[in-house]
Amino acid sequence: MALLYGWHTVAEALANPNRHFRKILATENAAHRLVEAGFTLPVEPEIVRPSEIDKLVGADAVHQGLLAEVDHLPSPRLKDIAKTDLVLVLDQITDPHNVGAIVRSAAAFAVSAIVTTARHSPVATGVLAKSASGGLEHVPICLVQNLARALNELKDNGMLVVGLDSEGAADLEDTPLHAPLALVLGAEGKGLRQLTRETCHVLARIDLPGAIKSLNVSNAAALSLGMARHALKRG
């Protein structure tokens, strides 16, 4: 089960016919807003005080009076993902805020799926879902047991696998890219694991013109996706 909270997160889930709802908790104001927005609610919302939602998600969470208990969306198959034009692969990125922001960027750049390991990855719920701001409804997450094996399967199915690494041979902007394409990002600090690096077709870096030469991983994901989309559009 997953917890989704906040207006954008829950509203996008309600608009997704593949999302199964178990329960909706809403303040009176939030429930009226749902009705005014024209949503057909799959379950009758329980009207609660904001403090009752605070108890479930924490007093610091910006829930806007709305929380839903839902089932996780199904994980797509790798062989199906390999037929799409752009995929993002995460190598043990564990911070849910970062992963949520990456999911949001992935949705903005029409990424077909995100591949990550079942272990050493945050669950698609709570803070991650809130940070994704509805992106989970548009970018399926494919959970795998072994990332190197998954990358090899993508390669065997015709995908170009490009790892983002500070020691890459060339700037991503100067690296020949073509669809179907998988971009691989590693955790902040550690970067890509050695076996992941060795499994990629090529490693590319992001050259920055300013005084700061490194980016937060979620910012790096957004920048690299923008570059990739531009390259794929160019042909």
pLDDT digits 0-9 by tens, 131-158: 999 999 999 999 999 999 999 999 999 9
| Residues 103 and 15 reside in one and the same domain | no
pLDDT the model gives residue 189: 82
pLDDT the model gives residue 66: 97
Beginning with the edge strand found earlier in the chain, give each strand of the sheet holding 113-117 in spatial order. Answer: 141-144, 113-117, 86-91, 181-186, 160-164, 202-205, 170-171
pLDDT the model gives residue 141: 96
pLDDT the model gives residue 120: 85
| Residues 60 and 164 reside in one and the same domain | no
| Residues 83 and 12 reside in one and the same domain | no
- The yes-or-no verdict on residue 8 having pLDDT over 90 is yes
- Look at residues 11, 45, 70 and tell me which one is the last residue of a structural domain: 70
Q: What are phi and psi of 8, to 5 degrees?
A: -60, -40
Q: In this structure, are residues 185 and 165 in contact, taking their beta carbons and an 8 Å threshold?
A: no
Nearest to 194, CA basis, from 214, 167, 232, 212: 167
Q: In this structure, are residues 115 and 87 in contact, taking their beta carbons and an 8 Å threshold?
A: yes
| Residues 104 and 88 reside in one and the same domain | yes
- Look at residues 32, 54, 70 and tell me which one is the last residue of a structural domain: 70
Average pLDDT, the chain: 95
Strands 141-144 and 160-164: unpaired
Please give the model's pTM, rounded to 2 decimal places: 0.94
pLDDT the model gives residue 214: 83
C-alpha 228/C-alpha 188 separation (Å) is: 21
pLDDT the model gives residue 228: 96
- Look at residues 25, 53, 70 and tell me which one is the last residue of a structural domain: 70
- At 85, which CATH number? 3.40.1280.10
* Per-residue pLDDT band at 190 (split at 50, 70, 90): confident
Cβ neighbours of residue 203 closer than 8 Å, sequence gap 6 or more = 162, 163, 164, 165, 167, 168, 169, 192, 197
- The yes-or-no verdict on residue 213 having pLDDT over 90 is no
pLDDT digits 0-9 by tens, 95-119: 999 999 999 999 999 999 999 999 8
Range of 16's domain? 2-70
Q: In this structure, are residues 169 and 196 in contact, taking their beta carbons and an 8 Å threshold?
A: no
pLDDT digits 0-9 by tens, 19-56: 999 999 999 999 999 999 999 899 999 999 999 999 99
| Residues 98 and 121 reside in one and the same domain | yes
